[in-house]
Amino acid sequence: MRALTTSALATAVLALAACSSKAPPEPTGPKVVVVTPAAPQPVKVGGDRDANGCIGSAGYQWCGHTQQCERSWELASAKGFANTSAGFKAYCEQAPLKPVTKP
């Protein structure tokens, strides 16, 4: 019986010693700060709208004549002008087809 009591007492002492809340000592010397670069944000498809709302990556450009975003090759085919930058510019710099109204 005495061996059992001694064994129980030793177990209790070890359990209490393991539960002590003594914090580990603070390290001395200079602190090292690890900085990881932020992951690049994915580019949203169609997220390249210009000031007029035209999506350049989809081929759209603003046309002042039609007052909307247009694809130059589609507009050239529909309106019969040369499918060139100069042709698109000349057509789209004409006066608007309909009056521009401001909200």
- Percentages helix, strand, coil for the chain (3-state, rounded to 5) are 35, 10, 55
- Side-chain half-sphere of 103: how many Cα atoms within 13 Å? 0
Q: Which of 97, 77, 81, 100 is nearest to 89 (CA)?
A: 81
Whether residue 76 is contained in a domain is answered as yes
Is there a domain that residue 18 lies in? no
Asked whether residue 27 is assigned to any structural domain, the reply reads no
Give me the number of domains the chain comprises.
1
Domain presence at residue 4: no
H helices of 1-103, where? 2-18, 72-79, 85-92
pLDDT at position 43 is 67
Per residue in 48-82, pLDDT (tens digit) is: 899 999 999 999 999 999 999 999 999 999 999 99
Confirm whether 63 is domain-assigned.
yes
- Mean pLDDT for the stretch of residues 7-12: 65
In a domain, 12, yes or no: no
User: Model pTM?
Assistant: 0.53
